[in-house]
Structure 1
Amino acid sequence: MVRTLGLTQLTMIGVGAIIGAGIFSLAAAVAKDVAGPAVLISFLVAGAASLCAAFAYAEFAGMVPKAGSSYTYCAAVLGEIVGWIVGWDLLLEYTAIVAVVAIGMSGYLGFLLDAVGVQLPAWALGAPGTGAGHRIDLLAVVICLAVAWLLTRGTRTSARVETVLTIVKIAIVLLVIVVGLTKVHTGNLHPFAPFGLGGAFTGAATVFFAVFGYDALSTAAEESVEARSKLPKAMMLSLSISMVLYVLVCVVLTGMQRYSDLDPNSGISSAFASAGLSGLANVIAVGAVIGIVTVTFSFMMGASRLWYALSRDGLMPAWFGAIHPKRKVPHRATWTIGAVAAVLAGVLPINAVAELTNIGVLLAFMVVCASVLILRYRKPHLRRGFRCPGMPVVPVLGMLFSGWLMSFLQWETWVRLGAWLAVGLVVYATYGYRRTREVMPGGSVDLDALDEMTDGEEPEPGAERLPVR
């Protein structure tokens, strides 16, 4: 792959992955049913948990500039089998996230089409069981395939589109904040925690879905310029920018309209309409569509780069990891993920798909935090472009936060995760274990060899490809 992504583009990819459904719909749903105005606390708690994991990811990104994200990091420290479990888990989670946000965006697109007098037939309006006559969510299917097409155009081209869309999205969110703050009524913020602090903490487990995304960013390490220094900075910047915007939108949302009156499907639009600013509704809907497109882009990119890393290391068939000879992207993995996400988004309701996401990401966060803690003491001499602060407290807090948030998830979610991981172990036992030793004899990772890489993150001239997973 070609290194073309600088700090600005990396940061925009990170913000694009984080800012999306969380601002445009999730905040209102949590405020209405779970937390009230204390949804602000929900985002701050989720953000704190996410920050602990972000520090761990940033240290690894500054040390292991290879595609694969959590899979690469965990395999490097805890061994191949742990890395495979995390990678197999995240492959499903990222693909499911793409499907979830595509379904969410199809609703906003339908709203905009209705506004211009275009109405789709009933069979194309949603998955079976979501409404009368519904057979498939056609718009969600088109979104998944269109994003896959964009990603196969090449990293430079697709990243430029992502950067432009993210800038437009941020501009619309800032418009919402600036205009909305003039319409805030402090009376709407009382009582601040109508469901108690317990409601705010429960809300944190839900909105956590909206405050990660830098993990998908880390999969672009092999397409980043000066990855060791740029990736950690991009992770910190993207999370910081996103959290500031989330907090301000929460204040605007619950200050403009009483929490009990919020629309969980279009919270910002309904809040503006209640304040006599219905003219901005279409603008906000456009912002929601753009915002969700960037999330779809970032996570599909992350899933395809993760699959590329798994295939390159022999854990999955090499056919999927093939790089396009002209555009230098893993085109087969991208199209496969786009097709699977399109099927999930087209025929399953959003709740059924959403349940496949959070638990896997939280599991990966726990393992990455443990890995960075172990490696700091096992190999303190390794060159690090970023060092996680507050060792060992911060990684331990990351593990505790992630485990605590996982405890709020339904038992059915745990069963689905267990079934998927069982399938993954079968794949590893029957294919991956043998094949990876043909690709890289010994099946181990030499972390010390990373110090032999140049500042440009490429192997020294004449050096063999580093067997880092």
Structure 2
Amino acid sequence: MKQPTVWQRLTRKPDVQTTLNADHQLARTLTTRDLIALGIGAVIGTGIFILPGTVAATTSGPAITLAFILAAVVCSLAAMCYAEFASALPVAGSAYAYGSIVFGQLVGWIIGWALILEYMLAVAAVSTSFSAYFASLLSGFGLRIPRALSGAFDPAHGTYVNLIAVLVVLLVGFMLTRGMTTSMAVNRAMVLVKLLIIGIFVVVGAFYIKPINWHPFLPFGVKGVLAGASLVFFAYLGFDAVSASAPEVKHPQKTLPRGIIGTLIIATVLYVLVAIVLTGMVKFTHLDVADPVSFALIFIHQPQLAGIIAIGALAGMFTMMVTMIYSSSRLVYAIGRDGLLPGWFGQVQRQLPRHALVAVTTIIAVMGGLVPLTQLVNLVNIGTLIAFAIVSLGILPLRRHEQINNPGFKVPGYPVVPLLSFLFCLLLMSQLPQETWLMSLVWFGIGLIIYFSYGFRHGK
């Protein structure tokens, strides 16, 4: 029998039916409400309390509202592509699994490696922000965290570990090991706290709006709106994590598209409302500060509400970590299940991929506690955009795939919408700084070494 060539092995695709049946051990417990809570948990983080102010001040002015809407339109193109894939292939692994099935093993691995970077770095970075907010909240009660336990490993400046960052990651990981029913109940409660606090800001702030603050509406012109849209685009990242939950969702053909698109609609409404109120309360030129929402509340003599915003920010970061640790554990589980990482990662115990979850939680806790992350956070953006671009392009071979019959959601305007989504992703990737590209080449170089030394030989 003729041996397959190297190219044939790199582009081999898994059997669709085998893949669809591979995750039968996971419990299907999640509903549309759970998925939207997961999505909102990931998308609406601290960004909603920071981005509308800083981007309005530096780039778009009061037209920041148009920038959010434009970014949402661009993001919705990719969201619809994700929704079609999730409907056609409700399997663990999200974009990694989609890429493997329509393009082959090597492309799947590259997406998976990009997403591992995105999820883990995002959570590690957010855990350090959570630590900073939590420390400032404690200082309001006269409590101080010892300097040695308040930052990444840097003995020259007297810091050895960021204890709060480590503990919050371990807490989220522990919560997720208790099962999805418990985890989703906690997540929904935290999302409600966050939405309630955003609602309080919008309602209270609406009484202090001065329409004169919206003039001029386009101080930086149309160019400012476009530049603002490219900046706030990243505020929407995270809706793709919803598709990682596919094997644990009830009625995935209907529930997954609703969860993905519902997340994007709700997030857009919230961002636009906050932007309208914030730029109406305070002249946009004053909003280039680290915490524009708190600044606006102090400006209108409501400092007690500024403390409530800190609680909202903590709830936002906590739910973001829940979604991203959950998604990254399912991704690592799927890659291990397919043999591209050791099979230990792909094992299921008591209806949960516990090994993958423990490994992911441990790595993120170490990164958040010990590693300075400031230079690496831009890599989150490139990892996401690579996944978006390949998923968008993947709709073309998905529609022609002989083994896949999708009675559920389909992208409207095929093939124009998937191609537009792909081109927009390339455009945004071209805007990222040169050092981000260089660091990502190093990351993908490491990924290819791992793939050819292990995954290429063991992949199922």
When the two structures are superposed, what TM-score results if normalisation uses the length of structure 2?
0.90
Shift of 1:349: 4.1
- Structure 2 residue 94 is matched with structure 1 residue 53: no
1:395 offset after TM fit, Å?
0.8
Q: Kindly report which structure 2 residues correspond to 1:364-375, keeping only aligned pairs within 5 A, or say none.
A: 364-375=387-398
SS, match of residue 353 in structure 1 = coil
Instruction: Confirm or deny: 8 A CA contact 1:122 1:132 kept in the other structure.
Output: no
Give the residue type in structure 1 aligned to 2:368: A
Shift in Å at residue 199 of structure 1? 3.2
Closer/same/farther in 2, CA of residues 373 and 219 from structure 1, 3 Å limit = same
Task: Give the Cα separation in 2 of the matches to 1:368 and 1:322.
Answer: 26
Q: Given the alignment, which residue of 149, 152, 176 partners 1:127?
A: 152
Does the C-alpha gap of structure 1 residues 131 and 402 become closer, same or farther in structure 2, counting only changes over 3 Å?
Answer: farther
**Whole-Å Cα distance in 2 between the matches of residues 232 and 130 of structure 1?**
49
Tell me the residue number matched to 1:403: 426
Which residue of the other structure, out of 362, 368, 385, is the alignment partner of 1:345?
368
Choose from 309, 318, 324 the match for 2:349.
324
| 8 Å CA contact 1:263, 1:270 repeated in 2 | no
Given that 2:88 and 2:404 are in contact with CA atoms closer than 8 Å, whether structure 1 keeps it comes out as: no
Q: CA deviation at 1:350?
A: 4.8
Q: Which amino acid aligns with 2:438?
A: V
* More deviation, 131-140/73-82: 131-140
- Aligned mate of 2:356, from 333, 346, 366: 333
**324, 343, 361: which one aligns with 1:299:** 324
Q: How far 1:355 moved relative to its partner?
A: 1.5
Distance 2:423 2:338 in 1: 31
Structure-2 separation of matches of 1:381 and 1:313: 19
Equivalences for residues 160-309 of structure 1 within 5 A: 160-262=185-287, 264-309=289-334
Partner of 2:36: 11
Paired residue type of 2:416: V
1:40 aligned onto 2:42: no
Against the structure 1 CA distance between its residues 131 and 226, is the aligned structure 2 distance closer, same or farther, given a 3 Å change threshold?
A: farther
My pick for the range that moved more, 264-273 or 300-309, is 264-273
CA contact (8 A) 1:21 1:210 kept: no
Following the alignment from structure 1 to structure 2, what is the Cα–Cα distance between the partners of residues 387 and 284?
39
1:86 counterpart = 2:111: yes
Residue deviations 1:429-469 (CA, integer Å, cap 9, x gap): 11112111xxx3xxxxxxxxxxxxxxxxxxxxxxxxxxxxx
In structure 2, distance between residues paired with 1:173 and 1:72: 35
**CA distance in 2: counterparts of 1:38 and 1:255, whole angstroms:** 11
- Which amino acid in structure 1 is aligned with residue 47 of structure 2? G
Q: In structure 2, do the counterparts of structure 1 residues 37 and 125 end up closer, same or farther at CA, with 3 Å as the change threshold?
A: farther
Question: Residue 376 of structure 1: which of 399, 408, 413 is its match?
Answer: 399
Look up the equivalent residue of 1:3 and give its one-letter code: R
Q: Is the 8 A contact 1:272 1:281 kept in 2?
A: yes
Asked whether the 8 Å contact 1:128–1:347 carries over to 2, the reply is yes
Give 1:286 shift.
0.6
Contact 2:162–2:368 (Cα < 8 Å) also in 1? yes
Q: What residue in structure 1 maps to residue 386 of structure 2? A: 363
- Report how far residue 184 of structure 1 moved: 1.3
C-alpha distance in structure 2 between counterparts of 1:138 and 1:31, whole Å: 34
1:153 aligns with 2:174: no
SS at match of 1:356: helix
Q: Distance in 2 between matches of 1:193 and 1:409?
A: 25
Give the whole-Å Cα distance in 1 for the aligned partners of 2:79 and 2:113. 21
> Which residue number corresponds to residue 340 of structure 2?
315
Give how far 1:389 is off: 0.9
Q: How far apart are the structure 2 equivalents of 1:253 and 1:24?
A: 10
User: Aligned equivalents of 2:156 and 2:216: distance in 1?
Assistant: 36
Q: Distance in 1 between matches of 2:108 and 2:199?
A: 40
**Cα distance between partner residues in 1 of 2:178 and 2:192:** 21
- When the two structures are aligned, how many residues end up with a matched partner? 435
Q: Which moved more, 1:426-435 or 1:240-249?
A: 426-435
Does the CA contact (< 8 Å) of 2:94 and 2:331 recur in 1? yes
Q: Give the secondary structure class of the aligned counterpart of 1:110.
A: helix
CA distance in 2, matches of 1:281, 1:34: 25
Please state how far the C-alpha of 1:64 moved relative to its aligned partner. Answer: 0.4
Q: Which one-letter code corresponds to 2:131 in the other structure?
A: S
User: How far 1:212 moved relative to its partner?
Assistant: 2.2
TM-score normalised by length of structure 1:
0.88
Tell me, yes or no, if structure 1 residue 21 matches structure 2 residue 19: no
| Amino acid in the other structure paired with 1:209 | F
- Alpha-carbon distance in 1 for matches of 2:307, 2:341: 45
Determine the C-alpha separation between the residues in 2 that align with 1:130 and 1:290: 31
Displacement of 1:415: 1.1
Tell me how far apart the structure 1 counterparts of residues 156 and 327 of structure 2 sit (CA, whole Å): 33
Question: What is the CA deviation profile of residues 284-309 of structure 1, one whole-angstrom value per residue up to 9, with x for unaligned ones?
Answer: 11111001100111011110000000
Contact 1:99-1:353 within 8 A present in 2 as well:
no
Consecutive unaligned residues in structure 1, runs of 5 or more: 441-469
* 1:340–1:381 CA distance, 2 compared to 1 (3 A): closer
Indicate if the aligned counterparts of 1:13 and 1:217 stay in contact, CA closer than 8 A. Answer: yes
